[in-house]
Amino acid sequence: MTASIRTLLGATALCATGMAAAAETTLTIATVNNGDMIRMQGLAGDFTAKHPDIKLEWVTLEENVLRQRVTQDIATKGGQFDVMTIGTYEVPIWAKQDWLEPLDGLSDDYDAGDILPAIAGGLSIDGTLYAAPFYGESSMVMYRKDLMEKAGMEMPEAPTWDDIAKAAEAMTDVSAGIYGICLRGKAGWGENMAFLTAAANSFGARWFDMDWKPQFDTEQWKTTLTTYLDLMGKYGPPGASSNGFNENLALFQSGKCGMWIDATVAASFVTNPNDSTVADQVGFALAPDAGLGKRGNWLWAWTLGIPAGTDAPEAAKTFIEWATSKDYLALVAEKEGWANVPPGTRTSLYENPEYLEAAPFAEMTLKSMEAADPTNPTVDPVPYTGVQFVAIPEFQGIGTAVGQQFSAALAGQITADQALQNAQTLTEREMKRGGYIK
């Protein structure tokens, strides 16, 4: 009898253990290595405390490796990840392929209507959100207030390209190792072409007309490229054709750039006195325009999406709701201060006086993000979405190939005309191959 009871109890215990194990869901999250994402990993204990039945596994990768890795997995339905960190470039393309689970049925507490409209627009298809933004960024002008003052100049809040050229000239002092302007020169669709495509929008240029015909043979693209080459040739640092975000960050932080037009996320780096020698001398302005109604700033967000076919869509959605919620922002503020909350996703953040006080660049970040419209990015109409990219699968390859031409022009290996002609030829070839044009 005793033996039977023991057996029964043992079996019950085993069943209970088995059920507990079965009830536990493990989410594998692919994410990019940046400060905000790493901070989220550190704070994930809050999520697992609230959801003890969900275990989190992290795969952190560099941006380009991550992009290749998650694309390969989702295209082959490998099922390695339950939550993927993807950019605003991937979301509309993947959603159209039915590769992403729609994020419908989010709770009222989540308040999806609070997501910045420009960001939400780029992540939605027919009004349905396919990924939730974790942090967003635009681009803006970061400049040295002390050098501008020394030159007797003042940077307008919304400068034109002429203002930028004058300021760059005034701040350049090669003998002191100070270059008036630092811009991206390294080839790549997410490198120099992010800057140049956004800048081209402000000059009235566009990648394609409404019939998908490449537009590099237009006067607007010529103006864009010659303005860029002139600025960098006269006032830029040497070897600029190999400078990307990090190289320019290092130059600006060490006091070698008068001005830097790049991601708004850089604002927190250049104003951090631990890393920057010019932390207390940095001013901010909107990206320049040419009076045509569009500014030369981009719009980007790192978002969290759920690959179609995951074993745990509900747990993944629960996690995404936690990571992109207003409560998460409050959690970061409580643990690490308001200056460290992931920016650029929620309207309410920019109405929070504590945040506005802690982040002096917040207002300019919001204005920059509001100045970019991914669904209507250019002066003339275009058949694509995306401000600094064209949301078609072919763009990664074409964008990088065109970027190589423009980088070569910056290095002085070819002229601006040659670079534009080569860009036109190669883009036409790829668009024909893709079946967009005949």
- Count Cα neighbours of 165 within 13 Å in the Cβ-side half-sphere: 13
For residue 340, what are the contacts with CB-CB under 8 A and spacing of at least 6?
A: 35, 39, 268, 332, 333
**Least Å distance between CB 422 and another protein?**
26
**Closer CB to another protein, 60 or 425, in the complex:** 60
Q: What is the DSSP string of 208-235?
A: B-TT--B-TTSHHHHHHHHHHHHHHHHH
Among 131, 178, 232, 265, binds another protein (CB under 8 A): 265
Contact pattern for another protein over residues 12 through 31, marking x by CB under 8 A: ----------------x-x-
* 369, 394 Cβ separation under 8 angstroms: no
Under the binding rule (CB under 8 A), the answer on residue 175 touching another protein is: no
Under the binding rule (CB under 8 A), the answer on residue 421 touching another protein is: no
**Closer CB to another protein, 58 or 436, in the complex:** 58
Under the binding rule (CB under 8 A), the answer on residue 250 touching another protein is: yes
Under the binding rule (CB under 8 A), the answer on residue 77 touching another protein is: yes
Under the binding rule (CB under 8 A), the answer on residue 358 touching another protein is: no
- In degrees and rounded to multiples of 5, residue 189 shows phi and psi of -65, -30
**Least Å distance between CB 104 and another protein?**
27
Under the binding rule (CB under 8 A), the answer on residue 173 touching another protein is: no
Q: Which stretch binds another protein (CB under 8 A): 55-63, 101-109, 210-218, 308-316?
A: 55-63
* Exposed/middle/buried for residue 62 (C-beta within 10 Å: 0-12, 13-18, 19+): exposed
Query: Quick one: which H or E segment has residue 47?
Result: helix 35-50
Cβ atoms within 10 Å, residue 380: 13
Give Rg (Cα) of the chain. Answer: 24
Q: Which stretch binds another protein (CB under 8 A): 64-72, 149-157, 212-220, 230-238?
A: 64-72
Under the binding rule (CB under 8 A), the answer on residue 368 touching another protein is: no
For residue 338, what are the contacts with CB-CB under 8 A and spacing of at least 6?
A: 352, 354, 355, 357, 358, 359
**Closer CB to another protein, 59 or 437, in the complex:** 59
Which residue is it, tokens 């004058």?
166
**Closer CB to another protein, 248 or 422, in the complex:** 248
Among 43, 44, 48, 59, binds another protein (CB under 8 A): 59
Amino acid at 130: Y
Site for another protein in 177-196 (CB under 8 A): 190
Chain positions contacting another protein, by CB under 8 A: 28, 30, 32-35, 38, 41-42, 57-65, 69, 72, 76-81, 190, 244-246, 249-250, 253-254, 263, 265-266, 269, 274-275
